[in-house]
């Protein structure tokens, strides 16, 4: 035994003196910290897994319990879901509210769990919690239908028996209206109809209620600046300009297609609670012009924002909105209310011209020879350089287009007066010509025609016509319109407004924009003609039935 100890003692002595591979106190401290951090991560992952599972179960339980088509007791339905999941003891509270046409179910749950590693820091327990509220049936519902009525909607429909895409849309939208009102009481739901193409015909009553300065009475559209898209609300402070009444496309003398639509059957219908009124308006829609979905959405967003309530009240006083809807739109988050926009387009946003304010009002340099507008003979104040027309008179002040009247023909020429003696004798008139305002001129003559048939012809320089057009109007491009649209879409999403977007046979660019505008991936659809009605039906059903509200 002594010999064995003698052999071991030298080895123990060497081990005591040997410092190779020793663990320092600091290394041990870091090692323990690593164990704790790793342990904290494990506890947090377990916590989040339990919370996610609990929230998913809670959502499914309240949705099933709130479904008015199931005959079971709502509280019993909730308990059965938790019992089957083995979590019946995690239920803290169940609240059921039944109305005549409504049901709301709220559930609160918690699942205390002991920590495995965080107890080293003094935290011995964590409690995942979940709550949810689902509602179905009657609740205040404000819907805005924003519908494309640009010229491409006149293209043939792919559905047999339906002439055009516009007809297809009308039928689908009317089916939507029928479903929404069939599943709701009329005094709890309103639909605002916003048809759009290059512009949106708001109507005189709305422009008046918004205090938009009206410089003409030919049509009633408003111009929104880029900054106006930074807010959902509509201003009643007179900050918007009235849009000019003009044709941005054609070069003929007489306007063919005006940027701003006319007629009550083409304008916004605000907060309507009578489905027949909405369907009649849908039937009356016609299509032409370009696409400005951002303007349509701006109006729709504004009329779901509570700041526009005075406009609704003004239209109710005028008999254009039912008196019991004068308080619309409701505040965001009111009770069981919901705000929804359905935006349909069949193409990309396209360029839009805007007449600059200085060419909207005041006197133009153009005279109409006759007071009678049907006799469209004009003279423009354009100064002659020398004797351009070779009549022996230099530097005359007015350019008169050639024409024919009562069998007498005259050429283009300059004149010292808007109604020279030779024309007065041809027209057999002693009446003075009528000087037109800018608004009157654009209502009677296309800007392109004036630019080239008058300015360019008089100066014998096409560039002068180009320069004039660039001076009188500004261009809003398609990409700029997309940016404005998405700005409004983001604002609606932040405000809790549900946005459904429908691409009606659109290209990839439009799909991208509409997809980004929708509230989520499930609220954007791209359809062909024979699917359009089904999609409208699906949207109508989803917004009037079961809703997970919290």
| pLDDT tens, position by position, 253-289 | 999 999 999 988 899 999 999 999 999 999 999 999 9
DSSP state of 445: S
**What pLDDT sits at residue 543?**
83
Could you tell me if 397 and 541 lie in one domain? no
Asked whether residue 257 is assigned to any structural domain, the reply reads no
Q: Which residue has the higher pLDDT, 471 or 546?
A: 471
Which of 122-126, 183-187, 435-439, 477-481 is the least confident region?
A: 183-187
Highest mean pLDDT among 31-45, 363-377, 507-521: 507-521
Taking the C-alpha atoms of residue 448 and residue 252, their distance in angstroms, rounded to an integer, is 8
Q: Are residues 470 and 481 in the same domain?
A: no
Q: How far apart are CA 409 and CA 405, in angstroms?
A: 7
371 and 401 belong to one structural domain: yes
- What is the average pLDDT across 3-10? 62
C-alpha 429, offset from chain centre: 53
pLDDT mean over 44-51:
83
Q: Give the integer Cα–Cα distance in Å for 421 and 418.
A: 10
Q: What is the pLDDT of residue 227?
A: 96
Residue 234 falls within a domain, yes or no? no
Residue 142 CB contacts under 8 Å (≥ 6 apart), including other chains: 189, 190, 192, 271, 304, 328, 329, 330, 337, 338, 339, 340
Helix pair angle (478-495, 293-304), 10° resolution: 20
At 521, the pLDDT band (50, 70, 90 cuts) reads confident
Q: Is the pLDDT reported for residue 210 higher than 80?
A: yes
Interaxial angle between packed helices 165-182 and 529-544, expressed in degrees from 0 to 180 and rounded to the nearest 10: 20
Helical residues (DSSP H) of 270-420, grouped into ranges = 275-284, 293-304, 309-317
Average pLDDT over residues 237-260: 96
Which one has a higher pLDDT value, 424 or 452? 452
483 pLDDT higher than 80: yes
The half-sphere exposure of 511 on its side-chain side, counting CA atoms within 13 A, is: 8
Q: How confident is the model at residue 38 (pLDDT cuts 50, 70, 90)?
A: low
Residue that terminates a domain, selected from 137, 158, 175: 137
For residue 254, the model assigns a pLDDT of 94
Q: Which domain holds residue 97?
A: 30-137
Residues 392 and 451 placed together within one structural domain of the fold:
yes
Quick check: 126 pLDDT over 60?
A: yes
Q: pLDDT category, 22, cuts 50, 70, 90?
A: low
What is the structure's pLDDT at 39? 61
CA distance 162 to 171: 9
Rounded to an integer, the average pLDDT of 151-172 is 95
Question: Could you tell me if 497 and 515 lie in one domain?
Answer: yes
Look at residue 494 and tell me if it is in a domain.
Answer: yes
DSSP string, 224-267: PPGGGGG-SSPP-SS-SEEPP---SS--SSS-SS-SS--SGGGS
Whether residue 16 is contained in a domain is answered as no
- Residue 15 domain-assigned? no
Question: What pLDDT sits at residue 375?
Answer: 76
Higher pLDDT pick, 184 / 279:
279
pLDDT at 258: 96
Task: Give the confidence band of 20 by pLDDT, cuts at 50, 70, 90.
Answer: low
The string of pLDDT tens digits covering residues 529-541 is: 789 999 999 999 8
CB atoms within 10 A of CB 237: 8
Cα(47)–Cα(52) distance, integer angstroms = 9
Is 257 in contact with 303 (CB distance < 8 Å)? no
Residue 544 lies in a domain: yes
Confidence label for 41 from pLDDT (cuts 50, 70 and 90): confident
Whether residue 236 is contained in a domain is answered as no
Q: What is the pLDDT of residue 4?
A: 57
Q: What is the pLDDT of residue 17?
A: 63
Contact call for residues 321 and 315 (beta carbons, < 8 A): yes
Are both 323 and 388 inside the same structural domain?
no
Q: 315-337: per-residue pLDDT in tens?
A: 999 999 999 999 999 999 887 78
**What tokens appear for 309 in the block?**
């309530």
Among 427, 449, 474, give the residue marking a domain's end. Answer: 474
* DSSP state at residue 73: -
207 contacts: CB under 8 Å, gap ≥ 6: 214, 220, 222, 242
pLDDT tens column, 463-482? 999 999 999 999 999 999 99
Distance separating alpha carbons of residues 194 and 250, to the nearest angstrom: 26
pLDDT, position 137: 63
Indicate if 337 and 459 belong to the same structural domain.
Answer: no
Q: What is the CB-side half-sphere exposure of residue 167 using CA atoms within 13 A?
A: 11
The percent of residues above 90 in pLDDT, for the chain, comes to 69
The pLDDT mean for the chain works out to: 90
Question: 323, exposed or middle or buried, with CB in 10 Å at 0-12, 13-18, 19+?
Answer: exposed
How far, CA to CA in Å, does 475 sit from each of 16, 251, 353, 355, 478? 89, 17, 5, 9, 10
Phi-psi region of 410 (alpha: psi -120 to 50; beta: other; left: phi over 0): beta
Interval 354-369: pLDDT, tens: 999 999 999 999 999 8
The residue from 431, 458, 474 where one domain ends is 474
pLDDT in tens, 405-449: 888 999 999 999 999 998 899 888 888 899 999 999 999 999 999
Query: How confident is the model at residue 123, as a pLDDT?
Result: 77
Residue listed under structure tokens 């029928």: 178
SS3 state at 379: strand
Q: Residue 24: its pLDDT value, please?
A: 65
Please write the tens of the pLDDT for every residue from 128-155: 898 988 877 657 899 999 999 999 999 9
**Cβ–Cβ under 8 Å, residues 535 and 502:** yes
Same domain for 460 and 371: yes
Q: What is the pLDDT of residue 353?
A: 97
Give yes or no for residue 118 having a pLDDT over 80. Answer: no
396 and 460 share one domain = yes
Task: Specify the pLDDT at position 40.
Answer: 72
120, 63: one domain: yes
Question: Which two structure tokens, joined as six digits, stand for 489?
Answer: 């879409």
The 10s digit of each residue's pLDDT in 52-107 is: 888 889 989 988 888 877 888 999 999 999 999 999 999 999 999 876 556 889 99
Q: What is the CATH number of the domain that holds 181?
A: 3.40.50.410
Asked if residue 377 lies in contact with residue 406, where contact means CB atoms within 8 angstroms, the answer is no
Both 429 and 502 in one domain: the answer is no
pLDDT confidence bin for 31, thresholds 50/70/90: low
H-run or E-run covering 340: strand 338-345
DSSP per-residue codes, 85-140: TT-GGGEEEEEEEE-SSEEEEEEEEE--EE-SSGGGGT--EE--EEEEEEEEE---
Distance (Å, whole) CA 162 – CA 175: 15
Q: What is the pLDDT of residue 456?
A: 97
In a domain, 462, yes or no: yes
Q: What is the pLDDT of residue 21?
A: 53
Q: 162 phi and psi, to 5 degrees?
A: -110, 120
The structural domain count of the chain equals 3
Measure Cα distances from 125 to 2, 111, 113 in Å: 57, 10, 6
178 and 322 part of one domain? yes
- Rounded distance between C-alpha atoms, residue 549 and residue 93, angstroms: 17
């Amino acid at each position: 035994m002594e010999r064995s100890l003698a052999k071991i003692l030298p080895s123990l002595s060497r081990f005591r003196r040997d410092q190779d591979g020793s663990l320092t106190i600091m290394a041990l401290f870091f090692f323990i910290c690593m164990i704790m951090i790793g342990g904290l991560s494990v506890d947090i992952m377990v916590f989040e897994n339990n919370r996610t599972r609990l929230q998913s179960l809670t959502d499914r339980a309240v949705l099933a319990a709130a479904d008015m088509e199931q005959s079971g007791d709502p509280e019993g339905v909730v308990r059965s879901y938790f019992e089957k999941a083995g979590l019946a003891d995690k239920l803290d509270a169940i609240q059921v509210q039944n109305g005549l046409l409504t049901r709301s179910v709220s559930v609160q749950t918690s699942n205390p769990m002991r920590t495995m590693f965080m107890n080293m820091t003094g935290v011995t327990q964590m409690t995942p919690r979940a709550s949810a509220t689902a509602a179905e049936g009657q609740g205040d519902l404000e819907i805005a239908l924003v519908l494309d009525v640009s010229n491409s909607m006149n293209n043939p429909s792919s559905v047999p028996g339906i002439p055009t895409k516009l007809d297809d849309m009308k039928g689908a939208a009317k089916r939507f209206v029928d479903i929404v009102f069939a599943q709701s009481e009329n005094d709890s739901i309103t639909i605002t109809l916003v048809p759009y193409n290059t512009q949106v015909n708001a109507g005189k009553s709305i422009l008046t209620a918004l205090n938009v300065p009206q410089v003409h009475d030919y049509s009633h559209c408003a111009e929104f600046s880029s900054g106006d898209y930074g807010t959902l609300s509509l201003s009643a402070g007179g900050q918007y300009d009235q849009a000019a009444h003009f044709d941005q496309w054609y070069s003929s003398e007489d306007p063919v297609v005006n940027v701003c639509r006319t007629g009550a059957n083409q304008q916004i219908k605000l907060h309507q609670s009578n489905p027949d009124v909405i369907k009649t308006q849908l039937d009356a829609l016609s299509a032409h012009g370009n696409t400005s979905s951002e303007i349509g959405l701006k109006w729709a967003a504004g009329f779901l924002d509570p700041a526009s309530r005075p406009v609704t009240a003004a239209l109710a006083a005028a008999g254009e909105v039912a008196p019991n809807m004068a308080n619309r739109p409701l505040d965001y988050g009111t009770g069981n209310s919901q705000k929804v926009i359905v935006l349909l387009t069949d193409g990309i946003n396209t360029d839009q011209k805007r007449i600059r304010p200085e060419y909207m009002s005041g006197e133009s340099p153009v005279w109409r020879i006759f007071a009678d507008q049907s006799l469209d003979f004009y003279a423009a104040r354009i100064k002659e350089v020398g004797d351009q027309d070779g009549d022996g008179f230099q530097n005359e002040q007015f350019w008169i287009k050639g024409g024919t009247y009562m069998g007498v023909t005259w050429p283009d020429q300059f004149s010292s007066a808007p109604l020279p003696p030779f024309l007065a004798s041809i027209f057999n008139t002693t009446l003075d010509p009528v000087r037109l305002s800018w608004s009157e001129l654009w209502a009677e003559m296309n800007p392109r025609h004036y630019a080239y048939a008058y300015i360019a012809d008089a100066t014998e320089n096409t560039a002068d016509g180009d320069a004039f057009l660039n001076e009188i109007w500004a261009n809003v491009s398609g990409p700029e319109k997309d940016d404005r649209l998405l700005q409004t879409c983001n604002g609606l999403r932040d405000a809790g407004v549900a946005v459904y977007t429908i691409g009606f046979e659109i290209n990839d660019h439009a799909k991208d924009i509409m997809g980004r505008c929708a509230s989520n991936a499930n609220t954007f659809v791209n359809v062909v003609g024979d699917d359009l009605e089904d999609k409208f039906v699906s949207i109508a059903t989803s917004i009037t039935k079961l809703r997970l509200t919290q």
